[in-house]
Chain A
Amino acid sequence: MSQAAIRVEHLSKSFGAVRAVRDLSLVVQHGEIFGLLGSNGAGKTTTIRMILDLIKPDAGEISVLGGPMSEQTKARIGYLPEERGLYRDMKAWDTLLFLAQLKGLSMAEARRRAERYLREVDLWDARDLKVEAYSRGMGQKLQFVAAALHEPDLVIIDEPFSGLDPINTQVIKQLVYRMRDQGAAVVMSTHQMHQVEEMCQRIMLVDKGTAMLHGELGEIRERFSTNTVEVTLQGEIESVPGVQRLERRDGGYRMQLAPGTAPEDVLRALVNLPDVRVQRFERVQTSLEEIFVQVVGHRVETGEDQPAEARR
């Protein structure tokens, strides 16, 4: 599995006058969770659908699991689409068996795995219920199981945690980690930045169909680092050597360091101040959301302001 799970080069797609994806290139490796970020309508889902051969690109090359999409490749892919949907009047159990067999599993193997997964996500007792009787969270878990049941080499999950409570979010996360640990490539498309920060090694931030950021999450954060520290202390301070701007925040202080000043210089200065006792000293990491806002220029919203075709 040395080759990339996904290799996309110069991908473009337009819907009428709307350019949904523009010259987008990315590589996803096996054994990693890759975050595809962007507000709704940014072009994430269109990119995913092109990767999955659900829609054809106007331009660009796509290689999935070592080549162009084929029927054999499809059997090695798991997909949780943003548009959730299963056959409402079908039993959950029958749904899983049907979808697993379409992915090439034998009936016996499908049954064995369906039982294991349903027990893991706590849906075993609800297996004979029709999908329409499931709550949103249950349906979400069921659909995730459908995407994972055949233990694919590539899993694409579009907004996997929307509608899940914290406990179920944890259950799904563990399954995602397990797939990654078993060598699968996981592409997670979301606009929930905190989930990406927690789970992804590499990301691509897309806005209006264009890749705005692409690379290792740590490197990106470093690049957007603001050289700021947060301090909680006993005592009062009005100025600190090396600190350009000092402001009170949440019972402590937020300090913007002067160019060339290292955080440890400020810590040393604080410790040496009379009548001051440092209780907490922390370098502020720029959050992904802040980076996103800086890059895209607006806050992450649910994005109903985009044209319908662009969201496709």
Chain B
Amino acid sequence: MNLRKLWLVAISTYKQQVRSTLFLIMTFALPVLSIGAGMVPVLMAERATVIRLGWVDQTGALALPPDQPELILTPFVDEAQAAQALEADAVDAYLVIPAGYLKGASPAYHGRRGPNESASAALRLALRQALTPDAPEWLYARLTRTTVWEFRALDRDVALHDGLELTLWYVVPPLLGILYAFMLLTTVNHMGPAIIREKEERAMEIVLTSLRPIELVGGKILGLSLLTLTQAVIWGLGAAIAIGLFWSQQGQSGIPLLPWGSLAWGLALAVPNYLLFGALGAGLGILAGDREQAKQIAGLVAVMGIAPVWFIGLILAQPNGGLAVTMTLIPVFAPVVALLRMTMAEVPVWQLWAALGILWVSVSLGVLVVARLFRAAALLYGQRLAPRQIWRALVAR
């Protein structure tokens, strides 16, 4: 195989697809939305200001707490007075603490808009100080800080902090698996038409006098792989920025601990799996007579890509059960199922190595078969390969 020619086809395919409007929309819409979602709390936090708050204590048992940087309190004898002050813009809002507060009734916040996050925190502290005006300062400080507890997963030798880090640890791998499954949809849907295009635009006859079918098919698959990689990198960056914004907004520093080992296995399995779907997509393009047919059949193959998502409940519930293990060893399901399993349990390494081996053998066979079919179908303009022609192509020496 001439790798230079394969690379030329890959780059040419990549350049053509990466400039398409559809690709640009699909690639940038998701990260823009993610970053936008991540920015919301940050933007809201920036709008935090000092609140002048009216204080109406209907219990008669609370002390007026001291002012805080975010909160300046003004006591009122009743709600009507506080409402008048709000009308006159003497306060931004007022809080009515009902008589039954000490027994569990909720205070009511009256204002044109609700308190932002920092004001809410200051308000919670104020209510605690009102209950115990003589308590030491350090006690208030501790009470206002959220307790972050550490989760030690004994079977994995990791320690995770409660909250975002714990969530990310369990959510990121399956989320990436599901995202990957949907990326396969893009690949299969692009691959068939890319091959059909070669036939429809009649460029095949010229190109095949310059390279082998396997170089053309391999180049197409590689080009579309690079396309998906571009998409993955952009999505990954978008997700990282969104998570980073949220992470820092939560007052965390450094980077969250993630199951890097599982992710590395997922990647190792995803590379051949992706190539396999590329080959399947190419094969469909060859067998289909036109783009419409290619799209219809591509839908069926794409179903295989997202099938693990349907079994997500079963796989997560019994990560080392028979179904999960079997699906790990089936090349089209391997990376997504493995990621889902590794999220919940320790997966025996031999299963991962076996899945990897089976995948690479499948890819080699897949590309070989596709190249043979491609050669047989290359000059059948507007026609499909008959079953007998398919058989002859596969067994030809």
Contact = CB atoms under 8 A, between A and B. Distances in A.
Range class of the B interface residue count: 20 to 34
B203 A86 contact: yes
Interface stretch (B209-217, B291-299, B334-342): B209-217
B381 A54 contact: no
Contact of A49 (B2, B12, B379, B381): B379
B264 to A, nearest CB: 36
A312 interface: yes
Contacts of A102: 5, 8-9, 207, 210-211
A84 interface: yes
Contact of B378 (A54, A79, A88, A101): A54
A173 to B, nearest CB: 21
Contacts of A77: 209
A235 B380 CA distance: 63
B212 A85 contact: no
Q: Please provide the 4 A-B residue pairs with the shortest distance between their CB atoms, ordered closest to farther.
A: A85-B202, A102-B210, A81-B205, A79-B209
A146 B203 CA distance: 11
Given A71-B2, A101-B8, A102-B8, A54 B208 contact: yes
Given A90-B16, A98-B8, A146 B206 contact: yes
A103 interface: yes
Nearest to B381: A83
Secondary structure at the A interface, as helix, strand, loop or mixed, is loop
B291 to A, nearest CB: 13
Contacts of B378: 54
A99 B378 CA distance: 18
Given A90-B16, A102-B5, A85 B205 contact: yes
A14 to B, nearest CB: 13
B201 interface: yes
Nearest to A101: B8
Contacts of B206: 79, 81, 85-86, 99, 143, 146-147
A177 to B, nearest CB: 23
B205 A98 contact: no
Interface in B375-390: 378-381
Given A55-B379, A102-B8, A87 B210 contact: no
Contacts of A49: 205, 379
A199 B27 CA distance: 55
Contacts of A56: 396
21 contacts: A54-B209, A71-B2, A74-B210, A74-B211, A77-B209, A81-B205, A81-B206, A85-B203, A85-B205, A86-B201, A87-B16, A87-B197, A94-B15, A98-B8, A98-B12, A99-B206, A99-B207, A102-B8, A102-B9, A143-B206, A312-B379
